[in-house]
Amino acid sequence: MNPSKFRFPALVAGALSLLPLIAHAHGGIGQIEGLATGLGHPLGGADHLLAMVAVGLWAVQMGGSAVWLVPSSFVGTMVLGGAMGVLGIQIPFIEPGILASVMVLGLLIAAAIRFPALLSLSLVGLFALFHGHAHGAGMPLASAAIGYSLGLALSTAILHGLGILLGSAFRRLSASDLTRLTGGAIALSGAYLALA
C-alpha cells in the first residue's frame, strides 16, 4: 500500500480536527461567522467548485506525489492570492483566469495530459492566484478575516479531496474513460460559464 495516497486526506482530517481549537483561540463571534462564511463561499460559485474538484481529479490522474503536491500547492498559492486581493495588489484578468482554470483543467483531464511536476505546480499556482485574489478582494470585515481565510482554505482542500476521492474511485474501477469524460464535462461547463 502506498503511504503517499493517504497524506492529503490525512492533512485535511488533521486540519478539520483543529477547528474547535482555532475558533477558541481567536475567540469572538466574528471569527466563527467568518469561518462559516469562508467555508461556504467556494460552494456558491460553480467556477470555483468545478476548478477545485478538477485539481484533485487531475492530481490523481497524474499519480505519484502529484496527489498531494498539486492540491497543497493550490491551497498555499490561493492564500497568497487572497492576501494580494486584501492588500489591493492588482492582478489582471482575474475573472477570465478563473474561467480559464475550469476549462484548461477539464481539458487536461479529458486528454489525460501529465506534465512534469514543476510545470503542473506552476500552472495550478497561476490558477490559484486568480481564485485567491477574487476571494481576498471579496473578504468580509477585517475582524473576521482570519476565520474567513481558514474556512476558505479548508473548504478548498475539502473540494480537492472530493476530486481525489472521485479520481481514486475511477482508478479502482479501472475506469479511466470516466475520468476523461468527467474532465470533458468540466471543460464544457467552463465554456458555458464563460458564455453565460
Q: Encode pLDDT of 141-190 as tens digits.
A: 565 778 888 888 999 999 999 999 999 999 999 988 999 999 999 999 99
14 compared with 194, residue with greater pLDDT:
194
Q: Is the pTM of this model over 0.85?
A: no
**Cell output for 9:** 486526506
DSSP alpha helix (H) spans, the chain? 7-17, 19-26, 29-40, 46-62, 66-87, 94-110, 117-137, 145-172, 176-195
**Tell me, what's the pLDDT at 142?**
60
- Give the highest mean pLDDT range of 1-5, 36-40, 82-86: 82-86
88: left (phi over 0), alpha (psi -120 to 50) or beta: left
**CA pair distance 57, 128, nearest whole angstrom:** 16
CA within 13 Å, CB half, 57: 32
Cα Rg, the chain, nearest whole Å: 16
What is the model's pLDDT at position 181?
A: 97
* Model pLDDT for residues 1-36, shown as the tens digit of each residue: 454 554 555 444 444 444 443 333 334 445 667 788
DSSP state of 45: -
- Please name the residue that has the C-alpha cell 471543460: 187
Domain limits of the chain?
Answer: 3-195
Query: How much is the pLDDT for 33?
Result: 75
Angle (nearest 5°) at CA 44 between 138 and 59 = 95
Q: Tell me the mean pLDDT in the region 63-80.
A: 95
